[in-house]
Structure 1
Amino acid sequence: MGKSRFIELMAKRMGKTATAEELAELEMFFEQFPEYKKVYDVTGALKGNDGQINAARQKDTRKKLETLWYKIKNSSDTPEAFFETNNVRPLFKWQWAAAAVLILGIAGGLFFTGKWRRDNPEVKLVMNNISVPYGTTRTLVMPDGTRVKLNAGSTFSYPSVFAKNTRDVSLNGEGFFEVTHNVKRPFFVHTNKLTVKVLGTVFNVKAYNNDKTVETTLLKGKVQVELKDNPEKNIILLPNEKLMVANNQPQTDAMPLANSKEAKIEYQVTTLPVLKPDGIKETAWLDNRILFTNELFEDVAKQIERKYNVQMVFEDASLKTEQISGLLDKESLQSALQIIEATTPFKYRTEGKIIYLSKK
Structure 2
Amino acid sequence: MGKSRFIELMAKSMGKTATAEELAELNTFLEQFPESKKMYQVTAALKGSAKQADTVKQKDISTKLEELWYKIKSTDKNQGFINDASKVKPLFHWRWAAAAVLVLGMVGSLLYTRKLRLADQAARLVMHEVRVPNGTTRKLVMPDGTKVILNAGSTFTYPETFAKNTRDVTLNGEGFFEVTHNAKRPFLVHTSNLTVKVLGTVFNVKAYNNDKNIETTLLKGKVQVELGNNPEKNIILLPNEKLLVTNNEPQTRTQAGNTLNQAKVEYQVITLPAVKADEVKETAWLDSRILFTNEPFEDVAKQIERKYNVQIVFESQALETEQISGLLDKESLQDALRIIEITTPFNYRMDGKTVYLSKKEKQN
Query: Could you tell me the TM-score, scaled by structure 2's length?
Result: 0.64
Aligned with 1:123: secondary structure? helix
For the residue of structure 2 that corresponds to 1:135, the secondary structure is coil
Mean Cα deviation higher: 201-210 or 264-273: 264-273
Which secondary structure state, in structure 2, belongs to the residue aligned with residue 164 of structure 1? coil
* Aligned equivalents of 2:115, 2:222: Cα separation in 1: 32
1:243-254 matches, cutoff 5 A: 243-250=243-250
> Amino acid of the residue matched to residue 224 of structure 1?
Q
Q: Which residue of 1 aligns with 2:215?
A: 215
- Find the aligned partners of 1:195 and 1:212 in 2 and give their Cα distance: 17
Aligned match of 1:191: 191
User: Does the 8 Å CA contact 2:289/2:328 hold for their aligned counterparts?
Assistant: yes
Structure 2: 5+ residue stretches without partners:
1-48, 53-108, 253-262
Fraction of identical pairs, as percent: 76
Give the paired residue count.
246
Show the counterpart of 2:181.
181
Q: CA-to-partner distance for each residue in 1:90-118, whole Å, 9 max, x for gaps? A: xxxxxxxxxxxxxxxxxxx9999898236
Q: Map of 1:52-201 to 2, 5 A cutoff?
A: 116-117=116-117, 121-201=121-201
Q: Give the CA deviation at 1:124.
A: 1.5
Over 3 Å counting, the alpha-carbon distance change for 1:270 and 1:333 in structure 2 is same
Q: List 4+ stretches of structure 1 deviating above 6 A.
A: 109-115
The amino acid of 2:318's aligned partner reads S
Q: Structure 2: which amino acid aligns with 1:307? A: K
CA distance in 2, matches of 1:209, 1:318: 23
Tell me, what secondary structure is at the counterpart of 1:148? strand
Task: Specify the SS of the correspondent of 1:342.
Answer: helix
Q: Give the letter aligned to residue 202 of structure 2.
A: V
8 Å contact from structure 1 (residues 114, 164) kept in 2: no
Q: 1:126 to 1:347 in 2, by over 3 A?
A: same
Would you say the 8 A contact 2:248–2:264 is kept in 1? no
CA distance in 1 between counterparts of 2:113 and 2:127 reads 19
Whole-angstrom distance in 1 between the partners of 2:283 and 2:110: 42
Asked if residue 356 in structure 1 is aligned to residue 356 in structure 2, the reply is yes
Please give the per-residue CA displacement for 1:273-330, whole angstroms capped at 9, x wherever unaligned: 0111110000000000000000000000000000000000001111110000000000
Asked whether the 8 Å contact 1:246–1:265 carries over to 2, the reply is yes
Return the alpha-carbon distance in structure 2 between the equivalents of residues 114 and 280 of structure 1. Answer: 50
Partners of 1:154 and 1:112 lie apart in 2 by 40
Q: Tell me the equivalent position of 1:275.
A: 275
Compute the displacement of 1:339 (Å). 0.3
**2:328 aligned with 1:328, yes or no?**
yes
* SS of corresponding position for 1:121: helix
* 3-state SS of paired residue (1:211): coil
Aligned partner of residue 335 in structure 2, secondary structure: helix
Give the greater-gyration-radius structure (CA): 2
- 1:138 and 1:110 mapped to 2: Cα distance? 42
Alpha-carbon RMSD: 2.6
Whole-Å Cα distance in 2 between the matches of residues 359 and 112 of structure 1? 71
* 2:236 aligned with 1:236: yes
